[in-house]
Amino acid sequence: MERILNKIKEYDVIIIHGHKRPDGDCYGAQFGLKNIIESSFPSKKVYVVGETSDFVDFIGKMNNITDDAYDNALSIVVDTAVEDRISDSRYKLGKEVIKIDHHIPVDDYGDLRWVDTTFPSCAQMIAYFYYKFQDELKLTLDGAIALYTGIVTDTGRFRFRGVSKLTHQLAGMLIEKGVDVEYIDGKLSQESLEMIALKGYVYSNFVTTNGFIYIRMTRDIIEKYNVTDEQAASMVGLIGGIQGYPVWALMIEYPNEIRIRLRSNGPTIDKLANVYGGGGHAKASGAKLESWEQLPQFINDVEEVVRKYNEEA
């Protein structure tokens, strides 16, 4: 962390990247870090780039920059274990690259890496970074909102494994900065009629196999219910926690691939995700299929993971 702070001090231009199809934690870490740097070092130019997320766009707006902005700039990539998932490949144009992440490491990209899987969110890592150097750094309410939102979303509102005493201490620190928890909860809890209807579809159409539940989100379903890809993908939690089915997944169809949000409350599933071009946490990972023809094999592989888990239990 001290080396990262020194690098931030060294550069006049800093460009912060996240991952493709960003979630609340990605946004929270990006905009939280931007706020810390801008508040602490007003003379520096700090940009946040990458894909957008309507779900958490109240946190901040992405910057549009040209390639020449990377001249003698520092690139920082947050919340991204797999290099090809980095949103906006121009991060490589920076003079140096820093990786800050809490996922199980897959690609060791970057000149300087801070990877710690004990943190339940990358936003908590950024909050901890501020906490450790708060004699030198500043954080305003906007940054605190971003970091709190990132922590809340990636911990399932403090329900998931990895939440610790430190998580709550840092959340309390952010609340002391003025975060209105009711405001953030209201922002995150708003749902459209289309989303309610889509929930009905999910509950009526999920498929069960041996210890595995999944739902397919094809393009026609997404268009029928008039939701975004991000909104469709957020339905993965609906089919979790059902007795007898420790692994579940949501599969969403994109033009050139099928992305899988894979979850577990029992078996470790990140190694399986690695086989299918993904990765992540031990019990919350992403993967992908090239086509629906691969689905039967994927189901067989998940069932094998569940079978071995049951034998060892």
Please write the tens of the pLDDT for every residue from 43-69: 999 999 999 998 899 999 999 999 999
Residue 100 is inside which H or E element, if any? Answer: strand 96-101
Per-residue confidence band for 184, with pLDDT thresholds at 50, 70 and 90: very high
pTM of the model: 0.80
pLDDT of residue 275: 95
What is the CATH number for 170?
3.90.1640.10
pLDDT in tens, 75-108: 999 999 989 999 999 999 999 999 999 998 888 9
Shared-domain flag, residues 144 and 228: no
Domain of residue 227 covers: 193-312
Structural domain count, the chain: 2
> Which stretches within 51-209 are classed as H helix?
122-132, 141-154, 165-176, 181-189, 193-205
Last residue of a domain, one of 160, 188, 216: 188
Shared-domain flag, residues 108 and 244: no
Per-residue confidence band for 281, with pLDDT thresholds at 50, 70 and 90: confident
pLDDT of residue 207: 97
Shared-domain flag, residues 136 and 278: no
- Residue 83 DSSP one-character state: G
Shared-domain flag, residues 117 and 220: no
Lowest mean per-residue pLDDT among 116-120, 178-182, 228-232, 291-295: 228-232
Residue 47 is inside which H or E element, if any? Answer: strand 45-48
Per-residue confidence band for 231, with pLDDT thresholds at 50, 70 and 90: confident
> Mean pLDDT over all residues of the chain?
95
Shared-domain flag, residues 119 and 198: no
- Residue 44 DSSP one-character state: S
- Residue 52 DSSP one-character state: -
Please state the separation of Cα 249 from the chain's center in Å: 16
What is the CATH number for 236?
3.10.310.30
Shared-domain flag, residues 244 and 130: no
Shared-domain flag, residues 49 and 156: yes
Shared-domain flag, residues 160 and 200: no
- Is residue 49 within 8 A of residue 80, CB to CB? The reply is no
Q: Provide the b/e sequence for 221-233 (b: ≥16 CB within 10 Å).
A: bbeebebeebbbb
Shared-domain flag, residues 277 and 211: yes
